[in-house]
Amino acid sequence: MMGPGSRSGALLRDPCVAGFPVNSKVGGLGWDHDDCNGPRAVTAREHRTTTRTVLLLGALCLLAAGGGVFAAVAPDSGRAAFESEAGSAERSTPGLAAPVVAPVQLAASPADGAQQVNPAAPVSLRVTNGSIDRVALTDSDGEAVEGSLSPDGTGWSAAGPLQFNSSYTYNFVVTDAAGRKTNDTRTFTTVTTANEADAAVYPLDGMKVGVAQPLQITFSEPVLNKDAVEKAIKISSTSGQAGAFHWFSDSMVRYRAENFWAANSTVTMDMQLFGIDFGNGQIGNFNKLVTVHVGDKKVAVADATAHTFSVSVNDKPAGSWPATMGDTRFPSARGFLVFMEKYRVEHMSASSIGLKPDDPAYYGELDVNYATRLTPSGEFIHQATDSALPYIGVANLSHGCIGLGPDGAKWVFDNMTTGDVVQVVNTEGENANFDDGFGDWNIPWPQYAN
């Protein structure tokens, strides 16, 4: 056997000698250093296991050194290949983000580019998979519309109604779950002036009227959605009286109780008609609160046969005077007639009722004193003309008016007012047309409230 210094491939030098490699191979085998107590032979199986371990470690070292797509990178060793956009500036187009997050879903109302938007329609923005950063809603003049953000930051809504015939810009910024901000701008326009619907209300707010005064609303446009309009009008009375609407045309509705309003009560009309669809593209443009005060109950009875005019106040007699009423050619209208307005002196013309100078009933033109109107067509209570004064309490010879002496006409003028009522009896005339004054009380309640 050769000594340790031999270079033969059959044996190795002692691995405990300084500078000698450990596990040096000799003919497929090797020496294993056992606590430097001396060499021992390495088996073939141990050699194969050791070789595989060395090869694997070498491969990993090569990968780490060479970079590559599988390179192991420590958190502080450099920037990743794709950068997260969580901290990026606002942008108007989608970008690439890592990690991938669900896109923000937007639900904005009105829709972008919408036209003829009802100014009472809700203006809102709702998001899912994100939150709202800020919202700005402005009109064409740059005036901002106030709004509020929901507590969870996913909803925004305008605080008040919009204007008619206006253009609005809706700008908002939303943030997704990765912190990305997206800016979007949308526009819409509201209902044009041609589609606005207004109304006139009578009695006027704060007015004091008699117990027979119906409430009247005259619309600027025909109303097709009558149920919607009625539901938007709340009417209440301190007397607790319930009432009903009655449509005299598509443009005019009245409201009254089954019986006269209670004396000295208050009636309130709360009309929330802004944004209500009247039909045919017409949208209500107003809300109004009207308070009407009802005075004493003053009811007169004009008897064409007895030639008298009698008045009661709160169901107690207040006065009675002789009268002259319409003759057989021009009989006074029958039923209930509601006082409308009064004039200290009223000018009357025979031509206004179709009379010509060659007509025996023609009276030309004249002025009458203490005139209180009952119908727009021309029936009044007034002081009889000088030529008719001898006939009051005796015969009917007027053109439909109720003529009284100076005392009776003045008392009515001074003490009775809009909404008071006179019931005309024993006349050959018909009830006044529904549109000729307030003939509501001549319509039976079941028919009126239907």
Q: Topology of domain 105-191, per CATH?
A: Immunoglobulin-like (2.60.40)
Decide the pairing of beta strands 124-128 and 105-109. antiparallel
Q: Which of 14-28, 59-73, 388-402 has the highest mean pLDDT?
A: 388-402
The tokens of 222 are what?
């025909």
CATH architecture under which domain 196-294 falls: Sandwich (2.60)
As a whole number, the mean pLDDT across the chain is 83
Task: Give me the residue label for tokens 């009051």.
Answer: 392
Query: How many angstroms separate the CA atoms of 56 and 30, rounded?
Result: 20
Q: How far apart are the first and last CA of the chain?
A: 133
CATH 2.60.40.10 is the classification of domain 298-442: no
Instruction: Select from 140, 134, 185 the least CA-distant residue to 162.
Output: 140
Q: What is the pLDDT of residues 24-54, one digit of tens each?
A: 444 444 444 444 444 454 444 454 445 444 4
pTM above 0.85, yes or no: no
Instruction: Select from 313, 311, 332 the least CA-distant residue to 321.
Output: 311
Residue 98's pLDDT is what?
Answer: 53
Q: What is the pLDDT of residues 264-312, one digit of tens each?
A: 999 999 999 999 999 999 999 999 999 999 999 999 999 999 999 999 9
Q: Any idea which residues carry the catalytic annotation?
A: 382, 401
Q: Domain ranges in the chain?
A: 105-191, 196-294, 298-442
Residue 359's pLDDT is what?
Answer: 76
- Complete DSSP assignment for 171-216: EEEEEETT--EEEEEEEEEE--GGGEE-EEEESPTT-EE-TT--EE
The tokens of 376 are what?
């727009």
Same fold, 196-294 and 298-442: no
